[in-house]
Amino acid sequence: MGKIVFMFPGQGAQYVGMGKDFYDSFACSKEIFDKANEVLDIDVKKLCFEENEDINITEYTQAAMVTASVAILKKIEEMGLKPDLTAGLSLGEYCALVASDVMSFEDAVKVVRQRGILMQDTVPAGEGAMSAVLGMKKEAIEAVLPDVEGIVTIANYNCPGQIVISGESKAVAEAGEALKEAGAAMRYMSQKYAMSNPKVAGLLNDIATEELGHLEIVGTIVHQLTKDLPCNEVDTAGFEKYYVDHTLGVWPQAAGGIPFNACEFQSKGDPITDLFEDMAAEQKARTTYDNILTLVKDNEVADPIRFLRAREIVHFQRFGEALRMVLDDLNNKKNFYLYNPAGCK
């Protein structure tokens, strides 16, 4: 027989109503919530069961999470189920200690209450942020973060494919944009090799080629706007950091200043996954052009941007047609939502 492992969640899994069904149904679970209210300076039951914003504030979240988790644990133990091993993700480690009889619930909930207060006080509300990066290797993330202005670093290596970054709110936001910016041409060229439908593979190749043309258009706009920039305007235009590294050369990067890198290719090798990703990428690009057009008043710049925006819409439509072709090919085969049609046979 295999071993039984109890694993406990970390901060971020909280929600209003957590543990209420156990509180209402089982005396041992109710006792845990009552005990939390006795030993803490907050109403944990109100925090967990009633609509409120405090449940997502660190100084309250941690005590609520530990209380709800241990309340559920006590009912499982009452049923006679005992773990061979316990583990927790971040905050969940305190629950694992309780489950292992290393720490009492009262001590654990008081410690995490104080821990939450100290963490909340370390960074004023709104100045710090965290973000989960999905589906990227740590090396790719580590290569991008040093180029972000401000403080941002990897906080948690949760598991392969899920890494958390944290730091100053603006820096985290800029890093997030850099990590998801699409290198559209390379993306589509890379994806075509997993397409069994030759028409779809050809479409990807065509759009990839056109995207390279788009890069030339954008590069030309940047060059024309900056080629005669006087030295005394480099600083006043906020161009000095770029100038130090690239003079007036054209260097592909996101609006936040993050350079293009290979982690932007987004080629999964599953035709359905890739085409949905492509449709989303085109809509994101269209939104970016919309945002540029709200800021740009010069028609000599705005006109080519409008053209590029129109092409993103066409690409979105073409990828939709490609997706229908792929689904039609698979329609008489296996359920394509349950397997990768491009995977090993």
- Which DSSP helix (H) or strand (E) runs through 133? strand 128-134
For residue 181, what pLDDT is reported? 43
For residue 20, what pLDDT is reported? 94
Chain-centroid distance, C-alpha 50: 28
pTM for this entry: 0.51
pLDDT confidence of 145, banded at 50, 70, 90?
confident
H helices present in the chain, as ranges: 20-25, 27-39, 44-49, 58-78, 92-99, 105-122, 138-144, 169-180, 184-191, 198-226, 231-236, 240-246, 271-295, 299-330
Residue 115 · residue 107 · CB < 8 Å: no
Strands 162-168 and 128-134: antiparallel
The set of long-range contacts for 76-82, using a CB threshold of 8 Å and a minimum separation of 24, is 76/6, 78/26, 78/28, 81/4, 82/4
pLDDT, tens digit (0-9, with 9 covering 90-100), for 153-170: 998 887 776 788 888 888
Residue written as token pair 């600083």: 235
The DSSP symbol for 4 reads P
Kindly give the interhelix angle for 198-226 and 184-191, rounded to the nearest 10 degrees: 160
Identify which has the larger pLDDT, 206 or 307: 307
Distance CA 79, CA 97 (A): 20
Residue written as token pair 């988790």: 69
Residue 177 · residue 131 · CB < 8 Å: no
- Specify the length of the chain in residues: 345
For residue 342, what pLDDT is reported? 57
pLDDT, tens digit (0-9, with 9 covering 90-100), for 23-75: 999 999 999 999 999 999 999 999 999 998 899 888 999 999 999 999 999 99
The DSSP symbol for 259 reads B
Question: Would the pLDDT of 118 be above 80?
Answer: yes
Q: How many CA atoms lie within 13 A of 103 on its CB side?
A: 18
Question: Would the pLDDT of 92 be above 70?
Answer: yes
Q: How many CB atoms lie within 10 A of CB 224?
A: 11
Question: Would the pLDDT of 278 be above 80?
Answer: yes
Tokens representing 280 are: 């989303």
All structural domains of the chain, each given as residue ranges with its CATH number in brackets, are 1-122 (3.40.366.10), 124-180 (3.30.70.250), 181-330 (1.20.1260.10)
The β-bridge partners of 165 are 131, 154
Identify which has the larger pLDDT, 109 or 223: 109
